Amino acid sequence: MDRRRFLLAGSAVASLGALGLPRPDHATAASLPAGGPRPRPTPQQLRWQREELAMFVHLTVNTFTGKEWGDGTESPAIFDPRKLDARQWARTARQAGFRSMILTAKHHDGFCLWPTATTKHSVASSPWKDGHGDVVREFTDACHAEGLGAGLYLSPWDRNAKAYGSGEAYNDYYIAQLTELLTRYGPIVEVWFDGANGEGPNGRRQAYDWPRIHATVRRLQPDAVMFSDAGPDVRWIGDEKGVAGETCWSSIDPASVPYPGYDRPWVGGLLGHGDPHGSAWRPGESDVSIRPGWFWHPEQDGEVKSPDALMELYFSSVGRNSKLLLNVPPNRDGLFDPEDIASLQGFAAKRTALFATDLLQGATVRASSGEAAPAVLDANPDTHWSAAADAHDGWLEIALPRAVEFDTLELGEAIALGQNIANYRVERWDGGAWQPLAWGTTIGHKKLARFDPVRTSRLRVLLEFAYGTPRLARVAAYRGPDRRYGPGHDEK
């Protein structure tokens, strides 16, 4: 069936009309996809998205050479992170509110951070712990001890492996490495596949066997999600800046990015926005580094992103239905730098300060139709308000016993049942009329909107158009410490 065929949506605008509101043009012109269930997340994808924050850890020979991409000729003798303390990384991550971590077990240079049987190009040939160390072991143990999920990055592009570019021999080598990583270290929550496909030591490129790679992960770690620009479980957001599209669907047409590393000029934008008609649930992950580089370089001390910059990233990723994967690179001692830790602590403190008090608590909620409207006020993402099953729009009105002042609004869709809402409007009561407050497109797991502080006792959320039943799990309002209250935003 062609999912992009459209039908006329007569009933889609009825409930907004009942409120005396203008009917949105695109809804009256009415386009709804024909039939077919809309995609929903698996329990693993849902868990992954609800974590909101994950930490990337880039460490390899590059940490000692100053490069971003090693060429595979580095001697293991240079790898000696003498004070390496993975527990320090995991503690820092947990205290800053991160829920999982992903380590570069092997980057493009081919150096393995665990004592693998597949090559001598590993920690076993390094002076670190006299060749008896295992960074992957220390990392996974630390994650598990701190209650964090452990994830691994295993670069398919390998500039050291002799077999790279030879076909099956390298695919066997890669699968053997993957098998070691997925069988020795307990539960792995995410496997991160970089699509880079450059030349190996013999100048040849490798045709990666993605079906076999994916089947290996499914067999050995069925609860792990697999990341790449082509999924299959979670997708790259299309940039390395931590910025999701303002419109961001968790669904995508799998045929539009058929394999990892599918490099086309339009792919970045497509991954940023997703596709409301896509048949695959494949939410976007926004990866970005706290420093200019992915690896630690001494000359980049002083360029660590500030707590305010990290807050901006939180709004542009988590606040747009994506997940933030923030890289924090260990230094040559194998430790996070104090500067990076201070910034992460500041980031956590700013989130705590902003989101400490939901000012809509104690409100009453009326809705266009359906039941359980008050469910939007509790923080439980599994309870929600739903419009009538065949509705394509709806509204909620939230009335407080007293006026409250706020500058940040949170909306959340009941994504366990899919993502349907295509645009919304939020208005505040000024004592005599409804005034526009926020307007946007997708909502998804979390949508955050910021504006100059306003004071009001009534709000309404207008879901102007949804491809399937509109369902909201969350409406919350917060007053941050950073914005000044201006004149003219008061309820009269």
Shortest distance, position 241 Cβ to ligand FUL, whole Å: 12
Shortest distance, position 441 Cβ to ligand FUL, whole Å: 28
Window 221 to 240, contacts with ligand FUL (CB under 6 A) = none
Q: Please select the residue that binds ligand FUL; options are 19, 78, 169, 196, rule is CB under 6 A.
A: 196
Q: Which is nearer to ligand FUL, 260 or 470 (CB)?
A: 260
Q: Which is nearer to ligand FUL, 221 or 228 (CB)?
A: 228
Neighbours of 487 (CB within 10 A): 5
The conformation of residue 256, written as its DSSP 8-state character, comes to: G
Per-residue interface string for the shown chain with ligand FUL, residues 458-487, x marking contact by CB under 6 A? ------------------------------
Pair 208, 197: CB distance under 8 Å: yes
Strands of 171-254, DSSP E: 190-192, 225-228, 234-236, 251-252
Q: Which is nearer to ligand FUL, 56 or 385 (CB)?
A: 56
Q: Which is nearer to ligand FUL, 326 or 360 (CB)?
A: 326
Buried b (16+ CB within 10 A) or exposed e, 415-444: bbbbbbbbbbbbbbbbeeebeebbebbbbb
Residue spans of alpha helices (H) in 307-446: 307-316, 338-355
Window 19 to 78, contacts with ligand FUL (CB under 6 A) = 68
Shortest distance, position 254 Cβ to ligand FUL, whole Å: 21
Shortest distance, position 197 Cβ to ligand FUL, whole Å: 11
The DSSP bridge partners found for residue 16 are: none
The conformation of residue 414, written as its DSSP 8-state character, comes to: -
Q: Which is nearer to ligand FUL, 196 or 399 (CB)?
A: 196
Strands of 24-77, DSSP E: 32-33, 53-57
357: exposed, middle or buried (Cβ count in 10 Å: 0-12, 13-18, 19+): middle
Shortest distance, position 242 Cβ to ligand FUL, whole Å: 12
Shortest distance, position 196 Cβ to ligand FUL, whole Å: 5
Shortest distance, position 160 Cβ to ligand FUL, whole Å: 15
Q: Which is nearer to ligand FUL, 93 or 375 (CB)?
A: 93
Dihedral angle sign, alpha carbons of residues 309, 311, 315, 317: positive
Window 139 to 168, contacts with ligand FUL (CB under 6 A) = none
The DSSP bridge partners found for residue 421 are: 466
Q: Which is nearer to ligand FUL, 107 or 479 (CB)?
A: 107
Q: Which is nearer to ligand FUL, 261 or 468 (CB)?
A: 261
Q: Which is nearer to ligand FUL, 33 or 293 (CB)?
A: 293
- 267 binds ligand FUL, rule: CB under 6 A: no
Q: Please select the residue that binds ligand FUL; options are 194, 275, 340, 358, rule is CB under 6 A.
A: 194
Shortest distance, position 16 Cβ to ligand FUL, whole Å: 43
The conformation of residue 265, written as its DSSP 8-state character, comes to: T
Q: Please select the residue that binds ligand FUL; options are 209, 287, 358, 427, rule is CB under 6 A.
A: 287
Distance (Å, whole) CA 384 – CA 367: 12
Give the residue carrying structure tokens 């997703």.
274
- Sequential DSSP letters for 475-492: EEEE--SSSPP-TT-S--
Q: How many residues bind ligand FUL (CB under 6 A)?
A: 5
Distance (Å, whole) CA 402 – CA 383: 26
Q: Which is nearer to ligand FUL, 168 or 263 (CB)?
A: 263
Pair 162, 202: CB distance under 8 Å: yes
Q: Which is nearer to ligand FUL, 327 or 419 (CB)?
A: 327
Residue 89 parent element (H or E): helix 86-95
Structure tokens, 136: 């992957």
Alpha carbon separation from 217 to 184, 224, 227, 244 (Å, rounded)? 13, 7, 11, 27
Window 293 to 322, contacts with ligand FUL (CB under 6 A) = 294
β-pair type (323-327, 284-289): parallel
Pair 65, 16: CB distance under 8 Å: no
- SS3 category, 463: strand
The DSSP bridge partners found for residue 225 are: 190
Q: Which is nearer to ligand FUL, 208 or 406 (CB)?
A: 208
Using CB under 6 A as the criterion, which residues of the chain lie in contact with ligand FUL when the complex forms? Answer: 68, 194, 196, 287, 294
